[in-house]
Chains A and B, each alone.
Chain A
Amino acid sequence: MAEPMRSRLLVLPWEAAIWVLVLFALLLGRLLSDAFLTPDNLGNLAANLSEIALMALPMTLVVIAAEIDLSVASTLGMTSSLLGLLWSMHVAMPLCILAALAAGALAGLMNGLLVTGLALPSLAVTIGTLALYRGLAYALLGDHAVADFPAFYTNLGFGNLPGTAIPNPMLPFALLAAFVAVLLHATTFGRRLYAIGANETAARFSGIRVVRSKPLLFVFSGLVSGLAGVIYTFRFSSARADNAVGFELPVVAAVLLGGVSIFGGSGSVIGVVAAVFLIGVLQNALTLVDISNDVLTIVTGSLLILSVLIPNLLRQFHNRPRGG
């Protein structure tokens, strides 16, 4: 189980292949519908990806370090509820936003402390907090919806960058993607993450403070989920406890499809960004031709499985026969 999933040789072609698939998907969309390659539709496509794209970035770091965070969508729901609750109590909006971000970071800190402090598997911990944080979302807001947000903020969520068809949430996404790419590929911290993910014991023996690095990753994941919660709330002008239920799947799917090994130790930001857009383009193109959401669910699930199965089969094909 611990063997690395993709050989070093396969890493680059995999990410290139995902970008080629994005091009094919764009082509497919163009063939399926005339309305596809319009600025409006592409902007719409990007806007719908906002939260998934954002949360996939810290998830990339988490999975490279051989952990997982399944609580991201619940953290989004909880921060959205908190934002709505505070606003309905007439707290000033900047404070509401700060509180939502802080709550997200706290949720991540709790995950991180349980994972490193008690040395529990992150899968088990975040399945638990997935239920817990969603529960807190309901505890905060019940089944109310808060919708009377000021136009200034909902425009921020809903609008486009001045003079373009690029939706506003793409700006924080681009900045964050650049930040994560530099962090991962050009700093010692990034190299250490790969080392931790490849072999945590070896990393510890070579002097890497694993206990210090890992909680940071979960805090980052929680913080960005909080940001996604704020954006989601403003984009739909609605704070509800059940916001973004089930979003953890497309986020994990995008990260794995983007070439990050579920066993940790390999992957890149550029691959994950490609995978996010591949999922977005496919979903948008299929929706335009009235293919129902059920098929989209099947497509996302299949992509998730295939993104691991195909490299495995390729590898088995390459180093046959080994007996066993």
Chain B
Amino acid sequence: MSGMAMAPPVRGRLALRLSQFRELGLVASLLALVLATAAVNPRFLSPLGIRDILLDVSVIALVAIGETLALLMRQVDLSVSSILGIAAYGAGAVFVAFPGLPIPVVMLLGVAAGAVLGAMNGLLIAYGRVPSLVATLGTLYVFRGADYAWVKGGQINAINLPPTFRHFANAAILGVPVMVLLVIIVTIGFGYYLRHYPGGREYYAVGSNEEAARLAGINVERRLMRGFMLSGAIAGLAGVLFLARFGTADATAGAGMELRVVAAAVVGGVAITGGVGTVQGAALGALLLGVISNALVVLRVPAFWQQTIEGALLLVAISLDILLARHTLWLMRARHRNG
């Protein structure tokens, strides 16, 4: 245990300094982008425009928080989009069957369903020793297939939803949409947990050096299991928010979102090589990507070029991030050598 207590703070301090730097950089690029776009088209900064961007981003930002847990452990969860899809349709089906159910209860159901699906990932990865890339690529298709088989071309529409839920997406406290507030609270909660709780620190330890974490007495299997359950649970909650935001869900809800979620986390400074990053960063990354795609629309970039630009940005972000991480490691070693 003592080795564990000694080693991470050095890395933690450096990584922290780097990630703070990183978050500052993110905020700066966000501001620059927003101002430049607003200069060309002032409507970009209208209250309605801002509200729409925030609502669009909130679902992806939420899923990116769960993805961060997986990435921190040097794993990946590609199945989040399928879990979100099942939860979105499931929440709609529950509302159709029991229109009087309070919204928090349905959210809890979404969380529970997501946690169960996430537990299947966890079992395969932690105890079946299936690499997370293979396991969650597999469950991405299995869950989506199950979704299709269940929904059978059906669709939940806004008319089928109780009025209270339809108003939920538009509800705001002091001008901030409730959905956005919810995501901010979850972000702060997980941010605090990851930074200050032993359980939270374990995510970094497992992702930095699994063998060392094991030797330090960390139950790696249990951490993997919990991480994937949490990732699934968060995706389940995001599914309910997805339904609230768009008012409609069919079997394709959220399909293909997994890459954007990984991209958001990586752009936000969560290293794909594990052990580095924060949920705040991931949420900021989601915001930056959301603002970019909105800016592309406002700046009248042809729709067909948008995916190319997003793909190129993703590639640049991933490359920069890994090179930066390698530089940090080099710095750490240099410092270590110099005493």
Contact = CB atoms under 8 A, between A and B. Distances in A.
Interface residues of B, number: 45
A127 B210 contact: no
B253 to A, nearest CB: 15
Interface string A291-316: 01111111011101100110011001
Given A118-B319, A139-B304, A305-B124, A297 B141 contact: yes
B242 to A, nearest CB: 20
Given A249-B137, A294-B149, A132 B319 contact: no
A262 interface: yes
Given A127-B259, A135-B310, A298-B142, A305 B318 contact: no
Contacts of B315: 114, 125, 128-129, 131-132
Nearest to B210: A1
A128 B39 CA distance: 30
Interface in A96-140: 114, 118-121, 123-125, 127-136, 138-139
A129 B273 CA distance: 18
A262 B310 CA distance: 28
A172 interface: no
A298 B144 CA distance: 8
Contacts of A62: none
A142 interface: yes
A54 interface: no
A297 B311 contact: no
Given A124-B318, A128-B315, A135-B305, A301 B145 contact: yes
B195 interface: no
A297 B145 contact: yes
A14 to B, nearest CB: 16
Interface in B110-146: 124, 128-131, 133-135, 137-142, 144-146
B190 interface: no
A64 to B, nearest CB: 16
Contacts of A249: 137, 141
B322 A124 contact: yes
B208 to A, nearest CB: 14
Interface centre among A134, A241, A309 (most CB of B within 10 A): A309
Given A124-B318, A301-B139, A139 B259 contact: no
A269 interface: no
A297 B323 contact: no
B131 A302 contact: no
Contact of A252 (B137, B139, B259): B137
A138 B130 contact: no
Contacts of A297: 141-142, 144-145, 148
Nearest to B149: A294
B307 A135 contact: yes
B129 A312 contact: yes
B309 interface: yes
A136 B308 contact: yes
A256 interface: yes
A309 B311 contact: no
Given A127-B259, A301-B140, 11 more contacts: A120-B322, A129-B315, A130-B311, A132-B312, A134-B307, A135-B310, A138-B305, A263-B131, A304-B137, A305-B135, A324-B214
Interface of B: 76, 124, 128-131, 133-135, 137-142, 144-149, 210, 214, 259, 262-263, 266, 272-273, 304-312, 314-315, 318-319, 322-323, 326
24 contacts: A114-B315, A118-B319, A120-B318, A121-B272, A123-B272, A124-B266, A124-B272, A124-B322, A130-B311, A131-B315, A132-B308, A135-B312, A136-B311, A138-B305, A256-B134, A262-B133, A294-B148, A296-B145, A301-B142, A301-B145, A304-B138, A308-B130, A308-B131, A308-B135
The 3 residue pairs across chains A and B that have the minimum distance between CB atoms: A132-B311, A135-B308, A301-B141
Interface of A: 1, 68, 114, 118-121, 123-125, 127-136, 138-139, 142-143, 241, 249, 252-253, 256, 262-263, 292-298, 300-302, 304-305, 308-309, 312-313, 316, 324
